[in-house]
Structure 1
Amino acid sequence: MTYIQNGDVRIATQAFGTPGDPALIMVMGATASMLSWPDALVEALGKRGLFVIRFDHRDTGETTTVPPGAADYVVEDMAQDVLAVMDGYGLARAHVVGMSLGGYIGQMLALEHPNRVASLTLIASEPLGWDGAPLPHISDAFMAHFSSMADLDWMYEDAVVAFLSGMDQLSAGTGAPFDAGAAEARARAVLARTDSLASMFNHGTLSTREDWTGRFREIAVPVLVIHGVDDPVLPIENGRAIAGDIAGARIVELDGVGHELPDRALGRIVDEIARFTGATGGADTTR
């Protein structure tokens, strides 16, 4: 682990690949630590000639947390955390990969700091400041499960693991049977890295400081959209809206994939990101 300071926030980071190769920073979604980027994914990208950095958002993992309900930051502050990570690694520019809320953050960075974003890959994301016809969002089943958190005993590990595994199951697509054992292992790994797991749900209370209405259409850096056709949290229409309204953007639709990064899709995702970023192991263009 490498720890980087952004004001009062200490950010836990981890790097894969060779320093000096083109840099790629992975920005995960709401309530998720760096572990939500599978080891197999970041390691494979590192082997394709990218210097890959993943990190824990504030209120997750080994990054600074505040008590549940005490978040005093907004989404734009989380975007500043990404810049702090880049600065900590001495990166003038990086390819940015964002998933879900991480894609929202990535769009902010591409708009406000285009000189620092070499390219933007948006996985299972929604358009920043959407102002068109309403887009479908989180399923009723997921919301019902999420609301059950009010009765969750955070001191009872097995109950917390069951709750997190349930979130994984409700996020999964139809392309393969759900692996409950793997979901439980992921949940226990997350629990082992934080003293305040409930704090990650502070992300559900966050707002934005600025008015981003319609702004995503102004993004001028290269954009790749990767989206699961079965996504029950941010349905595929969200990815299609991004790709349809950003000039030059391309979408890759993953059949049978939900709001997830399943093993069966990792090879395709690695290939698409490596091709899009021009990862060849050659000259570094991100410094």
Structure 2
Amino acid sequence: MNDERIVQVGGVDLCLQTFGDAADPALLLVAGAGSAMDWWEDAFCARLAAGRRFVVRYDFRDTGRSVSYPPGAPGYTWRDLVADAVGLLDELGVRRAHLVGVSMGGGLAQVVAVEHAERVASLTLISTSPAGPGGEGLPPVSDELAAALSRLAPPADWSDRAAVADFLVESQRALAGPASFDEPRVRALLDRVLDRTADIAASTLNHRLIDGGDPVRDRLPGITAPTLVLHGTVDPLFGYGHAEALAREIPGARLLPLPGVGHEMPPERTWDVVVPALLDHTAD
């Protein structure tokens, strides 16, 4: 693992970290909304690097040590987040990378694959969607998740670390599968996130306020990158039908279900499947 470093991309500071040898095939990991790069856990990245991959993870704008904006006033758009991903490849001197996107990161990765096909060696889409909850022909958010989120109130004081941590833990619990939530692991991970994040209110709120950009669902049949879709079978945010739609609409895409898993990637339930699948998918 190399130390975190700040680079300038598109005129803003972004924080990245790499694992493995830069001579190996590059994997760019693109996280979910409001997620610092810590959610791509150290041990997960190390396992991929041990498979001779050059693994790159980074903090989005408003997460971790990257540039921060006032809560409720993100000074960027969805298009900027897409440009950031491509700009990071430029900064690293990577001509083509294997893109691995989860949730919102999967949406960003789809746009990169559509609009910058020459930069994408392969595409892996985890717990994501071609159009978001309730898109045409797609399952809505589950009733259970909707009810859980309606009961969750953001902390009254974002400087109250314990209250913020409790709120974020309960948010993650609502997204998890019924038997896969590991609270001690999530709390330990959030402790690191809170240590590294400049403004946790901005990190939690701002990604949900940005313009989502022009939809690319009607352009998915034009994706030429080999595509792997990984998805929990009990995902309450993007029901399994979202994964089936991606696999159907992207030519040649392969769908790999994660039984009993929600909108998450718990190590003990998924890594022994996901890591070998990623290494196999990115072998060429």
Whether TM exceeds 0.5 here: the answer is yes
Query: How far has the Cα of 1:48 moved from its partner?
Result: 0.3
Find the counterpart in structure 2 of residue 285 from structure 1.
Answer: none
Query: How far has the Cα of 1:110 moved from its partner?
Result: 0.5
Between stretches 210-219 and 76-85, larger displacement belongs to: 210-219
Q: Following the alignment from structure 1 to structure 2, what is the Cα–Cα distance between the partners of residues 3 and 95?
A: 22
More RCO (CA 8 Å, sep 6+): 1
Find the counterpart in structure 2 of residue 157 from structure 1.
Answer: 161
Gaps of 5+ in 1: 280-287
User: Of residues 210, 229, 236 in structure 2, which corresponds to 1:232?
Assistant: 236
Cα deviations by residue, 1:258-287 (Å, 9 ceiling, x for unpaired): 1111012112100000001117xxxxxxxx
- What do you get for the CA RMSD once the two structures are aligned? 1.9
Report the CA distance shift for 1:33/1:182 in structure 2 as closer, same or farther (over 3 A).
same
Amino acid at match of 1:189: R
SS of the aligned residue for 1:192 comes to helix
User: Of residues 216, 241, 248 in structure 2, which corresponds to 1:244?
Assistant: 248
Is the 8 Å Cα contact of residues 10 and 84 (structure 2) preserved in structure 1? no
Find the counterpart in structure 2 of residue 106 from structure 1.
Answer: 109
Find the counterpart in structure 2 of residue 284 from structure 1.
Answer: none
Is the 8 Å Cα contact of residues 127 and 241 (structure 1) preserved in structure 2? yes
Equivalent residue runs for 1:63-82 within 5 Å: 63-82=66-85
Is the 8 Å Cα contact of residues 124 and 229 (structure 2) preserved in structure 1? yes
Report the CA distance shift for 1:130/1:109 in structure 2 as closer, same or farther (over 3 A).
farther
Is the 8 Å Cα contact of residues 228 and 236 (structure 1) preserved in structure 2? yes
Q: Normalising by structure 1, what TM-score?
A: 0.91
Amino acid at match of 1:165: V
| 1:278 matched to 2:279 | no
Q: Following the alignment from structure 2 to structure 1, what is the Cα–Cα distance between the partners of residues 134 and 207?
A: 23
Query: How far has the Cα of 1:114 moved from its partner?
Result: 0.3
User: Of residues 29, 46, 49 in structure 1, which corresponds to 2:49?
Assistant: 46
SS of the aligned residue for 1:251 comes to strand
Find the counterpart in structure 1 of residue 226 from structure 2.
Answer: 222
Amino acid at match of 2:52: G
Is the 8 Å Cα contact of residues 126 and 234 (structure 1) preserved in structure 2? yes
Q: Following the alignment from structure 1 to structure 2, what is the Cα–Cα distance between the partners of residues 141 and 157?
A: 27
Report the CA distance shift for 1:128/1:134 in structure 2 as closer, same or farther (over 3 A).
closer
Find the counterpart in structure 1 of residue 31 from structure 2.
Answer: 28
Equivalent residue runs for 1:118-137 within 5 Å: 118-128=121-131, 133-137=136-140
Amino acid at match of 2:71: P
Q: Normalising by structure 2, what TM-score?
A: 0.92
Report the CA distance shift for 1:150/1:181 in structure 2 as closer, same or farther (over 3 A).
closer
Amino acid at match of 2:184: G
SS of the aligned residue for 1:173 comes to coil
Is the 8 Å Cα contact of residues 106 and 125 (structure 2) preserved in structure 1? yes
Report the CA distance shift for 1:228/1:129 in structure 2 as closer, same or farther (over 3 A).
closer
Query: How far has the Cα of 1:26 moved from its partner?
Result: 0.2
Q: Following the alignment from structure 2 to structure 1, what is the Cα–Cα distance between the partners of residues 36 and 135?
A: 31
Cα deviations by residue, 1:10-59 (Å, 9 ceiling, x for unpaired): 11000001110001100001010101111121110000010000000101
Find the counterpart in structure 2 of residue 268 from structure 1.
Answer: 273
Find the counterpart in structure 2 of residue 259 from structure 1.
Answer: 263
Is the 8 Å Cα contact of residues 155 and 164 (structure 2) preserved in structure 1? no
Gaps of 5+ in 2: none
Is the 8 Å Cα contact of residues 175 and 255 (structure 1) preserved in structure 2? no
Query: How far has the Cα of 1:187 moved from its partner?
Result: 1.6
Report the CA distance shift for 1:93/1:74 in structure 2 as closer, same or farther (over 3 A).
same
